């Protein structure tokens, strides 16, 4: 699997990232190891976890995903081949959340212990914290970088202006800057005013910022829980409508032409977009992961990308030109 550098750092990660919020909780350890093995056999090396995964799952209190990944890396002896991304910011049992200096220091140590590792390759702020000054947060992240406990930092679910402000503060002070941003993103476009709680979607502003500043974009919830192909998973209400219908029709046409599945076209489209967006893929069954990873075998033509990009909202440009 092709690898890219995250931002201007020396952290190398495979272009498909593996999502693990169900690893070690909804998916038991044996099945989790099987999925992790499959992903790495296909050349994957970029694993997305977080301190509080999966505290919302019955019987869990957070840390299950990191703990399972730590055990797996120990058993396989492959820590040095992986790029591990973890996050902090949300509360879970025995953690108040937020991005204060004390919280960053404390949660990083807990994650390192669960991962049985000396270092986290990419450490994300998982949400914003308006109660902690940006200077405090960025200096605390930088201290961890200088101490060798993390290699790079990222932002997830932050507004573009906050990412830009944080990075400017870091630039002025010579501190580590956010080199990657992970937000919600798929081929269907959210309806105006769609509510995703604390989650923030990739938008044109962010794409522009990342393109011009060399920041790597990473997408989560790429396959809408399987809604592109599964009768048991309707298109979520935040997306459903005429724009989604038009984009699903474009997706169907390209899937027919290429012989690929809808999921594979979505993943390929994302990777070939400008700037490229690295999809986090997930699945609870090996067949799902195999299908998703096989998206790397296809290349969309410029014409197919153009048709996918322009599907939906048919009259918008004409209205502005009138």
Q: How far is the CB of 39 from ligand NAP (least distance, A)?
A: 12
The nearer residue to ligand NAP, 252 or 306, going by C-beta atoms, is 252
Whether 279 and 183 have beta carbons less than 8 Å apart is answered as no
The nearer residue to ligand NAP, 9 or 156, going by C-beta atoms, is 156
- The residues pairing with 86 across neighbouring beta strands, listed in sequence order, are 123
Q: How far is the CB of 18 from ligand NAP (least distance, A)?
A: 8
Question: Which residue's entry shows tokens 């992986």?
Answer: 82
The nearer residue to ligand NAP, 40 or 156, going by C-beta atoms, is 156
Angle at 52 between CA 48 and CA 55, to 5 degrees: 120
The nearer residue to ligand NAP, 9 or 221, going by C-beta atoms, is 221
Which residue is nearest to ligand NAP, using beta carbons?
A: 19
10 Å CB burial of residue 213 (0-12, 13-18, 19+) is middle
Query: Interface with ligand NAP by CB under 6 A: which residues?
Result: 19-21, 48, 126, 156-157, 182, 199, 220-226, 229-230, 263, 280, 282-284, 288, 291-292
The nearer residue to ligand NAP, 175 or 220, going by C-beta atoms, is 220
Q: How far is the CB of 117 from ligand NAP (least distance, A)?
A: 18
Q: How far is the CB of 153 from ligand NAP (least distance, A)?
A: 14
Nearest to 264 by CA among 16, 26, 83, 77: 16
Q: How far is the CB of 146 from ligand NAP (least distance, A)?
A: 25
3-state secondary structure of 211: helix
Residues 223-254, buried b or exposed e (16+ Cβ, 10 A)? bbeebbbeeeeeebebbeeebbeebbebbeeb
Q: How far is the CB of 176 from ligand NAP (least distance, A)?
A: 19
Find all residues with CB under 8 Å of 252, minimum gap 6, and list them. 262
- The residues pairing with 277 across neighbouring beta strands, listed in sequence order, are 217
Distance CA(231)–CA(238), nearest Å, equals: 18
The nearer residue to ligand NAP, 153 or 315, going by C-beta atoms, is 153
Query: 39, 53, 92, 187: which is the annotated catalytic residue?
Result: 53
Whether 72 and 110 have beta carbons less than 8 Å apart is answered as no
220 is catalytic: no
Half-sphere exposure of 25 (CA within 13 A, CB side): 20
Question: Which residue's entry shows tokens 């935040």?
Answer: 238
10 Å CB burial of residue 49 (0-12, 13-18, 19+) is buried
Write out the catalytic residue numbers.
53
């Amino acid at each position: 699997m092709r690898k890219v550098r995250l931002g201007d750092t020396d952290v190398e990660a495979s272009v498909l990232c593996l999502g693990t919020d169900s690893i070690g909780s909804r998916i038991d350890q044996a099945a989790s190891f099987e999925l992790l093995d499959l992903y790495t056999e296909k050349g994957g090396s970029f694993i997305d976890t977080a301190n509080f995964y999966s505290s919302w799952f019955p019987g869990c209190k957070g840390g299950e995903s990191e703990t399972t990944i730590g055990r797996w890396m120990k058993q396989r002896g492959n820590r040095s081949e992986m790029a591990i991304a973890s996050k902090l910011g949300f509360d879970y049992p025995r953690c108040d959340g937020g991005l204060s200096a004390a919280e960053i220091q404390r949660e990083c140590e807990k994650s390192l212990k669960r991962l049985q590792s000396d270092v986290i390759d990419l450490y994300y702020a998982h949400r914003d914290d308006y109660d902690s000054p940006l200077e405090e947060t960025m200096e605390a992240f930088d201290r961890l970088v200088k101490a060798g406990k993390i290699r790079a930092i990222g932002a997830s679910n932050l507004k573009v202006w906050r990412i830009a402000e944080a990075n400017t503060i870091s630039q002025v002070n010579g501190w580590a800057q956010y080199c990657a941003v992970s937000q919600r993103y798929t081929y269907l476009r959210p309806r105006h005013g769609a509510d995703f709680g604390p989650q923030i979607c990739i938008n044109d502003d962010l794409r522009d910022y990342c393109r011009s500043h060399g920041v790597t974009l990473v997408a989560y919830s790429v396959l809408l829980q399987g809604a592109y192909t599964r009768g048991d998973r309707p298109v979520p209400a935040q997306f459903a409508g005429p724009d989604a219908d038009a984009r699903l029709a474009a997706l169907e046409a390209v899937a027919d032409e290429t012989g690929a599945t809808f999921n594979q076209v979505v993943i390929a489209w994302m990777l070939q977009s400008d700037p490229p967006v690295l999809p986090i893929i997930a699945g609870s069954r090996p067949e799902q992961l195999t299908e998703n990873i096989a998206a790397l075998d296809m290349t969309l033509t410029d014409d197919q990308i153009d048709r996918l990009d322009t599907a939906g909202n048919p009259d918008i440009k004409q209205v502005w030109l009138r």
